[in-house]
Every structure is written in structure tokens, then in C-alpha cells.
């Protein structure tokens, strides 16, 4: 049998109690002083029922049995109702309906509402312009006819059997280039 050549040291450090803040000498993994090592000496702290994020809401109740309640979605503009089962000793519940529980779906829904509103505003502006044009006198709103249409009308025969010769189209001039000698 082999005996160790060195003696193991006790590792005792100066620590701070996590419950009361008092300094004590103890093992490196010790959390509490001698008084608070016993669980009976420490008060139990209850967790607050407040939700940590904005997707949920706190609903304080005294129910002793499971109950179903109908709530309205809290997303602005969405009036859809959804059913929630309320459990005893549970206080955190969803704030939005099933279609808007996802953050992406909520943003997409708001963006779709904005686009729809813009389309309605543009349609109203276009309708206002059309109404303004309808109120103008007829002579003022008739656009000038293109020249090609006027030339075709001039080329129509006045009576049957008589033909009017149309003007021949002008030929483009050829560019003259100086010849090299």
C-alpha cells in the first residue's frame, strides 16, 4: 500500500451569506452562514405572478376548478374572441388570439392594415380627380387628336366612287459624305 507524501489541506474561505449578507468562514461551495443553512430559518419567497414579456397578461382569480372564459384579442384593430381555460393557482394567460400569438403574425397584420388604408386613400384621391374632370365643360376636357388621325380623316373620300389621292410620304434625305480622292 502506498501512502500519500503530502497532507490534504482544508479549503476554507471567507464567504458572504446569500440570504443575510453576513460574512462567514466556509467551504467554497457554501452559500449560507451557519444560521441560515437550515431551510426552516430562511423565509420562502413567492414568485410574482407578473409575466416577464408583453405577450402575456396576468389574470388574478380565486377559482378552485378549471373554467373556460371568452376574451377579446388585445391587438389594436382586432376584435376577434378566443376561449381560454383558467386553471387554479395559474395567473399568466395569453394576451392575443390564436392568429396573433406569434410576433411575426402581429407585425404582418399591422403592416397589412396600413397597406389597406393606403389603398383606400389612393382610391379616394383617384375618385376625386375623376369627379373633378366630370364637372369640367366638355370642350375643356376633350384632348387634342393625334396628327395621324387628322390625316386619315382628310384622306377619306367625300362620296362613293370618288377617290382622293393621299399625299405620298416624304422620303428621308440621304446624307452626303465627302468623297476622298
pLDDT digits (tens, 9 = 90+) for 94-103: 889 988 888 8
Classify each residue of 59-81 as buried b or exposed e, where b means 16 or more C-beta atoms within 10 Å of its C-beta.
beeeeeeeeeeebebebeebeee
Q: Quick one: 136 and 114 in the same domain? A: yes
The rounded distance, in Å, linking the Cα atoms of 131 and 116 is 23
Q: Which domain holds residue 29?
A: 11-41
Would 122 be classed as within a structural domain?
yes
Mean pLDDT of 110-138: 88
Would 95 be classed as within a structural domain?
yes
Would 90 be classed as within a structural domain?
yes
% pLDDT > 90, the chain: 30
pLDDT digits (tens, 9 = 90+) for 36-67: 988 888 887 777 666 667 788 888 889 999 99
In the chain, the number of structural domains is 3
Other C-beta atoms closer than 10 Å to the C-beta of 113 total: 13
- Predicted pLDDT at 9: 79
Question: Which residue in this structure is represented by grid cell 396600413?
Answer: 114
Amino acid at each position: 500500500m502506498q501512502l500519500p507524501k503530502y497532507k490534504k489541506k482544508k479549503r476554507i474561505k471567507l464567504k458572504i451569506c446569500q440570504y443575510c449578507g453576513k460574512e462567514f468562514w466556509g467551504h467554497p461551495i457554501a452559500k449560507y452562514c451557519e444560521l441560515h443553512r437550515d431551510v426552516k430559518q430562511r423565509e420562502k419567497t413567492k414568485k410574482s405572478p407578473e409575466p416577464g414579456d408583453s405577450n402575456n397578461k396576468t389574470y388574478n382569480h380565486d377559482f378552485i376548478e378549471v373554467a373556460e372564459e371568452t376574451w377579446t384579442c388585445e391587438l389594436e384593430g382586432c376584435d376577434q374572441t378566443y376561449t381560454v381555460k383558467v386553471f387554479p393557482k395559474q395567473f399568466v394567460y395569453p394576451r392575443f388570439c390564436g392568429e396573433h400569438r406569434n410576433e411575426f403574425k402581429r407585425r404582418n397584420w399591422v403592416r397589412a392594415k396600413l397597406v389597406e388604408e393606403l389603398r383606400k386613400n389612393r382610391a379616394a384621391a383617384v375618385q376625386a380627380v375623376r369627379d373633378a374632370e366630370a364637372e369640367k365643360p366638355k370642350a375643356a376636357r376633350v384632348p387634342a387628336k393625334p396628327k395621324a388621325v387628322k390625316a386619315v380623316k382628310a384622306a377619306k373620300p367625300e362620296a362613293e366612287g370618288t377617290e382622293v389621292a393621299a399625299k405620298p410620304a416624304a422620303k428621308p434625305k440621304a446624307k452626303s459624305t465627302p468623297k476622298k480622292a
